[in-house]
Chain A
Amino acid sequence: MNQTKNQLKETVEITSRFRHTISKYIIRRNSRCISCGLCAELCPYGVHPRYDNYSKPLRPQSHKCIGFSCKENEFYCVDRCPEQALTLGLNPILETLGDYRWTSEMLIAHWEMAETGNLPVVDLEYDLGNSGGGFDKIRFKLPDAKDYLNVSDEEIDTSVDLNKRNDGRPERSISIPCYGGGMSYGSTALPVMVGRARAAKRLNTLTCTGEGGYPQELVPYADHVITQVATGLFGVREETILYTPMVEFKYAQGAKPGLGGHLLGDKVTPEVAAMRETVEGNALFSPFPFHSVYSVEDHKKHVDWVKEINPRVLVSVKVSTPTDVDMVAVGSYHAGAHVVHLDGSYGGTGAAPDIAKKNIAMPIEYAIPKVHKFLTEEGVRDEICLIASGGIRSAMDVAKAIALGADGAVIGTAELVALECVRCGNCESGRGCARGIASTDPELGYMITEEWSEQRIVNMYTAWRKQWCEILRQYGLRSFKELRGRSDLLVHLDYLEEKERAKYQPAPRKQLII
């Protein structure tokens, strides 16, 4: 059975929606080219496409080029071109792409994973950002070769159990240690929502409605869709509680802790307004906090209410990371939650004040060990599933979060990056996302198909899984459950003596203009 559970999902190469994929390197072909076709014959990566019945040279597929390291190869097109018509260079546009947390290389690498389902062959740094702290300074210890576990990916268990309470409710397990973060109908395009749900079904994990109602298009995937109940209660109805395997109470969001949600009027189209039972064109605010919750007892009342409506539902509580996040987590456990979901301060959002994103609440790297330790000391750690999110960008970040003490992670931004988000940050304004991801505009909101979204997300997680399996094998582990809380396998560069630190890859530190 495990073999089936751990079976890798089918990956299909699925290309960019745009004519030119942004790449790390640029191969240029000048007018000296005589279209001899040698480069197309030589390149094993498919940088130089050529059709049998079309002899003219086509524009090189630069994003497939492995760059200067190819010089060592017999097939290096630049040297072998008889007319010296090819030049190779770093793409200058990288300077204008990405930021300290999601660097240009990390973005390009995730586009490639989403396109191919494999880890990139181009030399892209996708494990580390440029933020100079947190995950970017934490490393897995250098592995001991004798610990290496020589087993296939199919034999490695990356699943997470969501219900550990033994309370008679379903013992739900997801096959990868991640599920999709809440993004509402209104903040993201419908094909994106449905594509995420389809991917969740194929990957045997979950995705989340966000706070914007439950479109009928999601119903076929209902067993993989979390219903979010947030402070505005938009679109929450009895049937949406009944559809779902898990209800998520969103107390706060890491990107804007302590502040309500905000959907600008431009994005409140007739369909969005109908779903949320509001007025078209009117900006919608989710208040902060729940107006019916003044205490942990009130919170328990909420949890009980949902459990009463749906006897099979699990309950997740999504909170941000204040100083007393450990107490909040224990309170949620005692109120009956199955999952405590911590959303760190550097997490994603459809719209938030910049001051909140940068300054309010603590980064998730601090919150995970703090909460894990406290839950352990309270003796309840093994009865609750601790899920982390907010600034978890890559497969490596997920693994580090689990080693710090989380059971799994919620992923939002990376899924959108798989759909070619460039993190321009204009999700909230005007017609919304120019790339058709976070938009309800009649034109922009349908730039993407459900099938395309589904496959890109499946591809990315499949690539991630390959990386996770390799990490686990290096430490002789067969499952993520064995990795949880193994902070002894981690080092932090700032806590190492200089000589020891030199053994690890230094934290990238580059001054950027953002």
Chain B
Amino acid sequence: MPEKYHIHLKTTPPRFQPFGKYSTVEFREDCAGSCKECVKKKCIYGIFEDDYVHVSSMEEPEYLYACQSCFRCVQECTKGIFSRVINPDYRTLGDDYWRSETIHRLWYQAHTGKIPVSGAGYRGPFVGEGFDSMWTDMSEIVRPTRDGIHGREYINTCIELSRRVTRLTFHEDMSLASEVFPILEVPIPVLFKQPSFGVLSENVLLAAARAAHLLGAMMFIQAENYSDSFLPYADSLIPCLTKASYQDFSDLVLRSRMVELAYEPEIEKEFAKLRSLRPDLIIGVSIPLNAKAASRTLRLAQTEVDTLRFYADDRGNELDAEKPRFLKEMIREIHLTLVENLIRQKINLVFSGGIAMAEHMAKAIICGADGVTVDTPLLIALECWLCNRCLEGKSCPVELEAIDPEWGSQRIMNLIGAWRNQLIEVMGAMGIREARRLRGEVGRSMLFEDLERECFGPIFGERKVSGLG
């Protein structure tokens, strides 16, 4: 029996104190001074324990990374001098897509490898843009697992990156006549992509490459950055090449299981040339996610390509469009174009851009993707807070250039391990035991506009507000 896929998680603390969400405000003029009842000493989470100097010297403000927001200090301070505000630095984290809470959650997962779990109900908006206007389904009665979804039962999260034979043919003697293509399978439906910005030092890329290697995943890397230091991870790297450049990188082609070419018209003519260098080569093509993506996909699907990777912008939006559509709609369009033309089974579709949380991975697959890539979350796992100083040529506040690749790879593995466990949670709720079966299963999801129409339409009539309202 093959060994069960397992991601080795290990608590990997950050190098710098992360931003706390809260900071304390103390109205010192009323403080009793050496109060024996000081609430800071009584905090049940002990968050002030390591900070006894601060308690005595009372420098301010005090930023609380570990505050659990129980309000007891505020309510029990003998003089009522204790209050708190949102840490102003926390507010500056990220932007309106890569929100501060998203970054915080990614840090937590990279640190601990654990699924974010909390008590009380959901705290967010009813519905949101993009993937937040979609819910996943569950089944009340499903085939039970023996000891839970994280137990001994194998829930398969593998996907393939190699093309498939859609119809088998046989000789008269019933031997197989069809050519069977080489198979490239990865155990998780998430691939890594070299981020489009940030401190992309060799250490950072090595951390990602090492994590991809240990996870059994693959990483798209620009050929120019592929130095000899990456050789131990060659099996897990997908060099990104162009029609003009691939001949200059023939050594990379020879040592890689898969390469990717940037889309341009008639790119398919290069496939045979590439395979002449390495016959078992898996070939991907990267395509901008714009209005032409669906028609290009249909054309390329007829060729000998294995995987198409589409790249949206960093927020998952369509490129080159006045009113860009989100990844969710674009995936549906491309997936359904192939389904309608009876060729979806042949190739694999991978989507890049804006994948920020584990739920995005699950929802992208439900919309019709085989897998997704992550880029910015790799940097966040390494403590990046998207301050964008590097874009202006300034120094990185968390010294990304100096990270230890081993430390970095463990942080990335922790993050991806937590994501995979969350995917299993979502699949387990539906009773689906195989990530490939989730692909395109929109019947196992609920869209905001459909629910509004079906449940509220008969009561309230026609919606008079477009979008989410």
Q: Is A206 an interface residue (CB 8 A)?
A: no
Bound-complex Cα distance A1 to B443 (A): 51
Question: Bound state CA distance, A305 and B115, in angstroms?
Answer: 38
The answer to whether residues A366 and B142 also contact, given A96-B85, A361-B137 and a CB cut-off of 8 A, is no
Instruction: Collect the chain B residues with CB atoms within 8 Å of residue A296's CB.
Output: 141
A residues near B454, Cβ cutoff 8 Å: 366, 370
Q: Does A428 lie within 8 Å of B68, measured CB to CB?
A: no
Q: How far is the CA of A95 from the CA of B69 in the complex (A)?
A: 12
Q: What residues of A have a CB within 8 angstroms of the CB of B22 in the complex?
A: 96
Flag whether A243 is at the interface (Cβ < 8 A).
no
Contact B91 A93 (CB under 8 A): no
The verdict on A260 contacting chain B, using a C-beta distance below 8 Å, is yes
Interface presence of B136 (CB below 8 A) = yes
Question: Which of B68, B78, B120, B149 sits near A19, CB closer than 8 Å?
Answer: B78
Interface centre among B86, B90, B358, B459 (most CB of A within 10 A): B459
Tell me if A497 counts as interface (CB < 8 A to partner B): yes
A126 at the interface (CB under 8 A from B): no
Task: Please name the residue on chain B nearest to A31 by beta carbon.
Answer: B29
B140 touches A349 (CB 8 A): no
Contact digits for A350-382, partner B, Cβ 8 Å, 1 yes 0 no? 111111111111110111011001000000000
- With A96-B22, A356-B429, A360-B429: A349-B119 Cβ-Cβ less than 8 Å: yes
Q: Provided the pairs A288-B144, A355-B426, A513-B100 are in contact, do residues A92 and B138 lie with their beta carbons within 8 angstroms?
A: no
Cβ distance B373 to chain A, nearest Cβ, rounded Å: 20
Stretch at the interface among A34-42, A113-121, A196-204, A429-437: A429-437
Check A494 for interface membership: any CB of B closer than 8 A: yes
Q: Which residues of A contact B321 (CB under 8 A)?
A: none
| With contact pairs A319-B140, A424-B69 given, residues A363 and B126 touching in the complex (Cβ less than 8 Å) | yes
Q: Is the CB of B429 within 8 A of A259?
A: yes
Q: Given contacts A133-B125, A349-B120, is CB(A430)–CB(B75) below 8 Å?
A: no
Selected interface stretch from A155-163, A274-282, A340-348, A461-469: A340-348
Query: B138–A351 contact, CB under 8 A?
Result: no
- Which of A97-105, A222-230, A452-460 touches B? A97-105
| Chain B residue at smallest Cβ distance from A293 | B141
Q: How big is chain A's contact interface, by range?
A: 35 or more
Residue contact A259 to B74, C-beta cutoff 8 Å:
no
Chain B positions 129-152 with a Cβ under 8 Å from a chain A Cβ: 134-145, 147-149
Q: Of B116, B126, B456, which is within 8 A of A132 by CB?
A: B126
**Interface 1/0 per residue, B141-180 and A, CB below 8 Å:** 1111101110000000000000000000000000000000
| Interface assignment of B425: CB less than 8 Å from any CB of chain A | yes
Residues B117 and A353 in contact, CB atoms below 8 Å apart? yes
**Complex Cα spacing A236 to B422, Å:** 30
Contact with B along A425-456 (1 / 0, CB 8 A): 11111110111001000001000000000000
A323 part of interface (Cβ distance < 8 Å): yes
Expressed in whole angstroms, the Cα–Cα distance for A371 and B283 within the complex equals 49
Residue B332 at the chain A interface, CB threshold 8 Å: no
Residue A88, interface by CB 8 Å: no
CA distance A444 to B72 in the complex (A): 12
CB neighbours (8 Å) of B69 from chain A are 96, 422, 424-426
> Given A291-B144, A356-B429 in contact, is the A424-B70 Cβ separation under 8 Å?
yes
Of A299, A491, A514, the most chain B CB neighbours within 10 A belong to A514
Is B45 close to A, CB under 8 A? yes
User: B74 and A495: CB pair below 8 A?
Assistant: no
Question: Are B116 and A369 touching (Cβ within 8 A)?
Answer: no
Residues from chain A with a CB closer than 8 A to the CB of B429 are 257-259, 288, 356, 360-361
Contact, CB under 8 Å: B126 / A131: yes
Q: Which of A366, A495, A496 contacts B455 (CB under 8 A)?
A: A366
Q: Contact: B446 with A323, CB < 8 Å?
A: yes
Say yes or no: is B36 at the interface (Cβ < 8 Å to chain A). no
Across the interface, do A427 and B120 meet the contact criterion of CB distance under 8 Å? yes
**Chain A residues whose C-beta falls within 8 Å of the C-beta of B71 in the assembled complex:** 22, 97, 422, 424, 435
B137 touching A322, Cβ below 8 Å: yes
Binds A, one of B55-63, B187-195, B239-247, B461-469: B461-469
Q: Which residues of B contact A209 (CB under 8 A)?
A: none
A134 near B426 with CB under 8 A, answer: no
Partner of A352, one of B75, B117, B137: B117
State in angstroms the CA–CA spacing of A367 and B452 once bound together. Answer: 11
When distances are taken between beta carbons in the complex, the residues of chain A under 8 Å from B362 are 359
Residue of A nearest to B72 (CB): A434
Q: Is B323 an interface residue (CB 8 A)?
A: no
B-side contacts of A48, CB under 8 Å: none
A328 part of interface (Cβ distance < 8 Å): yes
* Distance in angstroms between the alpha carbons of A353 and B122 in the assembled complex: 10
A269 is an interface residue with CB less than 8 A from chain B: no
Contacts of B100 in A (CB 8 A): 513
A96-B85, A413-B120 known; A289 vs B142 contact (CB < 8 Å): yes
A-side contacts of B83, CB under 8 Å: 92-93
Does A131 contact B80, Cβ atoms closer than 8 Å?
Answer: no
Q: Is the CB of B425 within 8 A of A353?
A: yes
Residues of A within 8 A of B136 (CB): 359-361
Q: Is B101 an interface residue (CB 8 A)?
A: yes
Which residue of B125, B139, B456 contacts A369 across the interface (Cβ within 8 Å)?
A: B456
A294 at the B interface (CB under 8 A): yes
B343 contacts the other chain (CB 8 A):
no
Q: Does A391 contact B (CB under 8 A)?
A: yes
> In the assembly, what is the distance between CA of A76 and CA of B151, in Å?
64
Interfacial chain B residues near A19, Cβ < 8 Å: 75-78, 80
Interface flag for B431 (CB, 8 Å)? yes
* C-alpha gap A81/B425 in the complex (Å): 60
Which of B45, B120, B124, B422 has the largest number of chain A CB atoms within 10 A?
B120
Q: Are B121 and A391 in contact (CB under 8 A)?
A: yes
Given A346-B122, A492-B460, A493-B469; A435-B70 close (CB under 8 Å)? yes
- B76 in contact with A495 (CB, 8 Å): no
Q: Are B469 and A137 in contact (CB under 8 A)?
A: yes
* Chain A residues positioned under 8 Å from B84 (CB to CB): 93, 96
Q: How far is the CA of A11 from the CA of B223 in the complex (A)?
A: 74
Is A289's CB under 8 angstroms from B469's CB? Answer: no
How far does the Cβ of A381 sit from chain B's closest Cβ, in whole Å? Answer: 15
Q: State whether the Cβ of A339 lies closer than 8 Å to any Cβ in chain B.
A: no
Complex Cα spacing A101 to B91, Å = 20
Q: Give the Cβ gap from A154 to chain B, nearest Cβ, in Å.
A: 32
B residues in contact with A427, CB < 8 Å: 118-120
> How far is A424 from B47 in the complex, measured between Cα atoms in Å?
15
Closest to B114 in A: A353
Residue of B nearest to A370 (CB): B455
**B325 an interface residue at 8 Å Cβ cutoff?**
no
Complex Cα gap A428–B120 (Å): 9
Residues facing B in A377-425 (CB within 8 A) are: 390-391, 404, 413, 421-425
A366 to B458, CA, bound (A): 12
Known: A353-B115, A362-B451. A20 touches B138 (CB 8 A): no
The docked-state distance in angstroms from the alpha carbon of A349 to that of B118 is 8
A205 at interface, CB cutoff 8 A: no
Distance between Cα atoms of A428 and B468 in the complex (Å): 33
With A258-B142, A287-B147 as known contacts, state yes or no: A428 contacts B125, CB within 8 Å.
Answer: no
A133 x B126 contact (CB < 8 A): yes
Known: A362-B451, A514-B101. A287 touches B145 (CB 8 A): yes
Cα-based distance from A255 to B362 in the complex (angstroms):
18
Query: Is residue A136 contacting chain B, with contact meaning CB distance below 8 A?
Result: yes
Q: Does A175 contact B (CB under 8 A)?
A: no
B82-98 contacts to A (CB < 8 Å): 83-86, 90-91
Given A132-B126, A288-B144, decide whether A348 and B121 contact each other with a Cβ distance below 8 A. Answer: yes
Task: Identify the closest chain B residue to A30 (Cβ).
Answer: B29
A-B contact pairs, 15 of them (CB 8 A): A18-B76, A22-B74, A95-B86, A96-B84, A100-B125, A258-B139, A258-B431, A319-B140, A320-B138, A322-B138, A349-B120, A353-B116, A359-B136, A359-B359, A404-B459
The list of the 3 closest CB pairs from A to B, nearest first, reads A258-B429, A427-B119, A133-B126
Task: Supply 9 further A-B pairs (C-beta < 8 A) apart from A20-B76, A491-B460.
Answer: A22-B75, A132-B127, A288-B142, A290-B144, A356-B426, A363-B126, A427-B120, A428-B119, A487-B459
